[in-house]
Structure 1
Amino acid sequence: MSIVNIRIDERLIHGQVAAYWTNMLNVTRILVIDDLAAKDDIQKMALKMACPSTVRLSILSAQRAVERLNENAYDKDRLMIVMRGPATAKEVLDLGYFMPTINVGNISNKLGSTRIKHTVCVTPQEAEIFRYLESKGVKITIQMVPSDEKLDFMPMITHIH
Structure 2
Amino acid sequence: MKITVTRIDDRYIHGQVLTKWIKLLPADRIIVVSKEVADDPMRKTLVLSVAPSNVKASAVSPEKMGRVFQNPKYEDTTAMLIFGNPTELLEAVNAGVEVKKVNVGGMRFAPDKIHVTESVSVTPEDVKAFRALADKGISLDLQQLPGDASKDFMKILDDKS
The answer to whether the superposition gives a TM-score over 0.5 is yes
| Deviating 4+ runs (over 6 angstroms) | none
Please report how far the alpha carbon of residue 31 of structure 1 lies from its aligned counterpart in structure 2 after TM superposition.
1.0
Give the match for residue 123 of structure 1: 123
**Hey, what's the Cα distance between the residues in 2 that align with 1:97 and 1:108?**
25
- SS at structure 1 position matched to 2:93: helix
| Matched residue type, 1:156 | I
**Aligned Cα root-mean-square deviation (Å):** 1.5
5+ residue gaps in structure 2? none
Give the match for residue 45 of structure 2: 45
5+ residue gaps in structure 1? none
- SS at structure 2 position matched to 1:158: helix
**Hey, what's the Cα distance between the residues in 2 that align with 1:16 and 1:74?**
26
Equivalent residues of 1:102, 1:140 under 8 A apart? yes
Cα 1:85/1:61, change in 2 over 3 Å = same
**Hey, what's the Cα distance between the residues in 1 that align with 2:112 and 2:129?**
15
**Identical aligned pairs, as a percentage?**
29
1:12 aligns with 2:8: no
1:106 aligns with 2:124: no
Alignment of 1:25-104 (within 5 A): 25-104=25-104
Cα 1:78/1:112, change in 2 over 3 Å = same
**Hey, what's the Cα distance between the residues in 2 that align with 1:102 and 1:73?**
24
- Listed one character per residue, the Cα deviations across residues 108-129 of structure 1 (whole Å, up to 9, x for unaligned) are 1112423232211122321121
